[in-house]
Each structure stands twice: as structure tokens, then as C-alpha cells.
A and B are shown apart, each in its own frame.
Chain A
Amino acid sequence: AQSVTQLDSQVPVFEEAPVELRCNYSSSVSVYLFWYVQYPNQGLQLLLKYLSGSTLVKGINGFEAEFNKSQTSFHLRKPSVHISDTAEYFCAFNAGGTSYGKLTFGQGTILTVHP
């Protein structure tokens, strides 16, 4: 079965510290991978996506993610976080082919940045 697992439900971190949010996926076919962010009481917004090519993907707000096919991972990183990065982050994938635009989401990771 195809699935996405976000390994941490909550990640507390101090301002200006680095952060890594972990995501592993399980799929028998090639996938397209996404990270979305949800600020409090808002909809989801795309941070970055991996379709093909370079395994290091840069997104908005200084975030980046690395696709690792052998470890089936797509971890999200930021070298120095701000208070404004406090939000819930979702990893998602699409299996391509006849799956159209259907996204399978992970459970979400709540990032809390403390001053």
C-alpha cells in the first residue's frame, strides 16, 4: 500500500536554530513529492516539490528538501528558523499515472519556534 509517514508529530525548536522535519514514503512506483505548510486557521500552501532531476529541491521561505530514493525519504530542512515558521507541515506524494492529481498526505508535523 502506498503511504507517507512523518516521523515526528511535534518539533519544538528555538529561533535561529536549524530544523529537519522527516518524511518517509512507501510506494511501488515512482512518485512526485511535495511539502505543504499550514499556518494557523488557514489553508495549505506549497513549500516545494520534487518531480525529477536534482535531488536537492529549494522552496519558499528558505526551506529545502532532499529526495533520497534508496531510503525512500524526503526530509525538509531549514538552516535557521524564525518565529514566523511556526506552523504545521505536511509531506505528500502523488503516484503519477492514472492517479491524476490525487495527493496522499502524511499525518503532519507541528513546528513550534520558541524565542
Chain B
Amino acid sequence: NAGVTQTPKFQVLKTGQSMTLQCAQDMNHEYMSWYRQDPGMGLRLIHYSVGAGITDQGEVPNGYNVSRSTTEDFPLRLLSAAPSQTSVYFCASSYSSGPGYEQYFGPGTRLTVT
């Protein structure tokens, strides 16, 4: 099992550019989510999905889109990058969307927007 994989590991964008952060899991997990990590703020939820075809917004969804066409993949799209989106992005998955299940995190994508 590769677990949760994320690509790319690092990315530099110019303001206004768009890009997609890739996330995939091979554990047949139902629940997937995206967080951003900023110094002194912990992790904040951007979007989440409770199954293929079902997505919803988290705490900080503005400027980001997601879709979930398959169980395995959950890409995060930045529509028009802004310096405020400079952050480390983590994808996570868990077996179920129930509250007590362990979430497995990917290694992260470090994004810099200039």
C-alpha cells in the first residue's frame, strides 16, 4: 500500500496562475479531505468528500475547487493563485466518514505564490 500520495511535493506559482494539486489513496477509503497548514494556525479544513461524487466546503474554501469522480482521487484546484494561498497542503483519508476513524495524511505539497 502506498497510502496517501500527493503530487507535486513543491510548487511555485505566480499570482493569477491556476494549478491542480493531486491526491490519491489506495486504501479504498470513503472519506477524503484537504487541509492547509500555516505557522501558528494548525491545520484548517478546505474541502472534504464523504464519497465519490459528494463534496462539501470546510472552514476555508474560498479560492479552491474540488471534485471526486473516483474513490481513489481527490484533486484540489486553485483557480487564480494569490500570495495568501502560500501554504503547505495536506490531503487526508479515512475508512469512513464517521467521526472516530483515524485519518491518514499524505506527505504534503509546499506551495509558494509570488
Contact = CB atoms under 8 A, between A and B. Distances in A.
A101 B90 contact: no
Contacts of A44: 43, 90, 92, 103, 105
A106 B40 CA distance: 9
B45 A102 contact: yes
A4 B98 CA distance: 20
Interface size band for A? 20 to 34
Nearest to A91: B42
A57 B45 CA distance: 26
Given A43-B4, A43-B90, A43-B108, A101 B103 contact: yes
B102 interface: yes
A46 B102 contact: yes
Interface string B23-52: 000000001010100001111110010100
B58 A102 contact: yes
Contacts, number: 71
Interface in A8-60: 9, 32, 36, 41-46, 49, 51
Interface residues of B, number: 28
Contacts of B90: 43-44
B31 A105 contact: no
A73 interface: no
Contacts of A102: 33, 45, 48, 58
11 contacts: A4-B42, A6-B42, A32-B100, A43-B106, A43-B108, A44-B103, A94-B100, A100-B48, A105-B42, A108-B40, A108-B42
Interface of B: 4, 31, 33, 35, 40-45, 48, 50, 58, 90, 92, 94, 96-103, 105-108
Interface of A: 4, 6, 9, 32, 36, 41-46, 49, 51, 90, 92, 94-97, 99-108
